[in-house]
Structure 1
Amino acid sequence: MQLSLIVRGQHPPGDIAGHLRDDLELVTRAEGLGFDGIVKGSHYSAHPFQSVQQIPFLAYAAAIAPKLRLICGLVLLPLHKPLDLAEQLATLDIMSNGKLVFGCGIGYRDVEFKAFGVPRAGLGKRFEEGLEAVKRLWTEDFVTMKGSHFELVEATCTVKPVQQRMPPIWIGANADVAIRRAARLADCWYINPHNTLTTIERQMDLYKRALDEYKKPFPGEVPMRREVFVAPTRAEAIRRAQPYLEEKYKAYRAWGQDKVMPEGDDFDHGFDELLEDRFLLGSPAEVAEQMIRLNRRLGVNHIVASVHWPGMPNSLALDQLQILAEDVMPQVRRGL
């Protein structure tokens, strides 16, 4: 079982330079504790939060924590031109000596689509064209391709990734149609943190059937992101995490995240109902057992842990990293 840390990096308005220092401290602590990777997401116009952007953050992380994999989680692919993205990401792969993971998704926020001039109609096509173009730019010397929002004429990617043929590609997906797309186009489905495990179990069956249809093997890496908090007891874990998780999921509701999820998995619930079947909360032994069950039920072998939410003191997140590395993961690895 691999363990990575997502640095969501969303903070209340304030000292953004200080917030960035806190985020980078999480990166170096994760490397020191033996985590496998660092994940950074990407949103624009992220009111009410402050957050630095993904690619420059990961570039800095490569310099201060060179052992960690750099995981884009996720690039909002329809917002970008493929040649620019291919060169930016290839540069990250070079800077990290071949440790980049290209995680990508469609996105869901109207404010982002409108700001980038991207209509909602045709998002799936735009995503697939962009991904095909990035793959070709990484693996071919010259690319000629006409998409709905770009045209490449004998275009070349100035630098190629270190990893051959290319970095691993994860597709993040909530909806069934997107999970089939992940089976067809990606190395793996990056399982989201929002859907209930009951829904994800159904979707994993869908994913496996799609892999069979496309004559692809089940992937060797099955990553899943979850909200995680560990305390001496489950009751204490819930009590301490609740104020921060409630605020974050209020923002998700305001952003429309649950509108792109399967029916019945919305966030319009009290906290007790929201956490049920979603979050990894409890004592070290309880959280370890929850991770082991994810492996046995779904084949998950890479946990992307979210342990820091807006307004949480950084010291509390640092403590969570240590508890996960020293108290939880040894139990997980013994149990698998």
Structure 2
Amino acid sequence: MKFGIMASHQYPHDEDLGKHLDDLFGTVELAAELGYDSVWTINHFQSNLATPQPISMMAALIPRSGTMTLGTGILLMPMFHPVHIAEEFATLDHLSGGRVVLGVGAGYRENELAAFGIDPPTRFRRLDESLKLIRALWTGEPVTTEGGLYPQTDARIGIRPLTPGGPPIWVGAGSKRAVRRAARLGDAWYAPGNAPSPRYLPEHLAVYDAALEEYGKSTVDRPIGLELYCAPTTERAVDEALPQARTEYSTYAEYPALRWQSDRFDELIRNTLALGSPEYLIERLSTLRDMGFNHIIFRPGWLGMPAEMVRASLRLFATEVFPAFR
């Protein structure tokens, strides 16, 4: 099983961004030394938190991440032109020595879609057409597309990816329909681990597996995103992490699509947030492993959590939990 961390580069607007980024870079360097497998950047626009953009962040993390995979978790694909993303990720593929993953999603925040003049129902078509065009461009061969949102005539990418065929594409998806789309378009479904219902993962995994079979596909990577904090005891983990987690989730709940997270925060904690001792986390993650997930990607800290606490959690998790899964 692999383990990765979300870079989680979101901060209050009135705080020192440079200091926060220095802390983040140090945490990523530590994660590389500890043997973590991947690091993931996030993407939002016109956010209520200061959020540096993911492609720039990936470039900054390349020399700080050792041999870790670098990816977007996730890039809001409808807000970008696919030619731009094809060129950027081909470049990142070379700069990183072939260590990048393009993680994408359709987006959900109304203000972001409005900022780019995107009619919300079209975002799924944009995602579909974008990924098809990106893959075609990554072949290095001339591409012609008639009609559609992104017409091309004998277009050829300016730089071919280092990885043959281009970097892997992971598709984030929540609904069953979107999970089927992830099976059709992606190399992996980046599953959300923050659904309060215990039925969510088994039901949606069944949909994903059935869609893979229908499309004649298979996948090696089975990633899932979690919220996780490790301390010597579960009581201490909850005491240390819960206030910051509650603050961060209340910030997300300012967006209409995520208000449920604030209203049902206690249920969210009980069913999804993995705050606990190494023994507790081994038990929780064993359940995910048994379901077939093989790449755990987690946010190691929340708004207001000092870097020292984040790093202590990462050290303890690497020392005590890694051996149970490797």
Shorter-chain-normalised TM-score: which range? over 0.9
The equivalent residue for 2:82 is: 82
Q: Which residue of 2 aligns with 1:292?
A: 286
CA contact (8 A) 2:249 2:262 kept: no
- Determine the C-alpha separation between the residues in 2 that align with 1:57 and 1:169: 18
Secondary structure of 2:162's counterpart equals coil
Aligned equivalents of 1:214 and 1:67: distance in 2? 33
Asked if the contact 2:108–2:257 (Cα under 8 Å) also holds between the matched residues in 1, the reply is yes
The separation in 2 between residues aligned to 1:11 and 1:174, in whole angstroms, is 25
Q: SS of the counterpart of 2:145?
A: strand
Matching of residue 188 in structure 1 with residue 188 in structure 2: yes
Q: 1:5-44 alignment to 2 at 5 Å?
A: 5-13=5-13, 14-44=15-45
RMSD: 1.5
Partner of 2:314: 321
- TM-score by length of structure 2 reads 0.95
Q: Is the contact between residue 42 and residue 75 of structure 1 (CA under 8 Å) also seen in structure 2?
A: yes
Q: How many residues align?
A: 324
Task: For residue 98 of structure 2, give the secondary structure of its aligned residue in structure 1.
Answer: coil
* Contact 2:229/2:301 (<8 A) preserved: no
Amino acid across the alignment from 2:151: E
Partners of 1:11 and 1:160 lie apart in 2 by 35
DSSP 3-state at the match of 1:174: coil
The Cα of 1:270 is off from its aligned counterpart by 5.1
Counterpart amino acid of 1:199? Y
Contact 2:228 2:275 in 1 (8 A): yes
- Identical amino acids, percent of aligned pairs: 32
Q: Which runs of 5+ in 1 are unaligned?
A: 260-265
How far is the alpha carbon of 1:121 from its aligned partner?
2.3
Q: Secondary structure at the match of 2:325?
A: helix
Would you identify which runs of 4 or more consecutive aligned residues in structure 1 move more than 6 Å? Answer: none
SS at match of 1:3: strand
8 Å contact 2:188–2:222 — kept in the other structure? yes
Deviation at 1:273, TM superposition (A): 1.8
Within 2, Cα distance between the matches of 1:82 and 1:215? 26
1:210 aligns with 2:203: no
- Paired residues for 1:68-107 under 5 Å: 68-107=68-107
1:147–1:72: structure 2 CA closer, same or farther, 3 Å change rule? farther
CA deviations 1:168-210 (Å, max 9, x no partner) are 1100011111100011111110011321342111111111111
Q: Distance in 2 between matches of 1:74 and 1:299?
A: 21
Correspondence 1:111-260 to 2 at 5 A: 111-146=111-146, 148-196=148-196, 197-217=198-218, 219-258=219-258
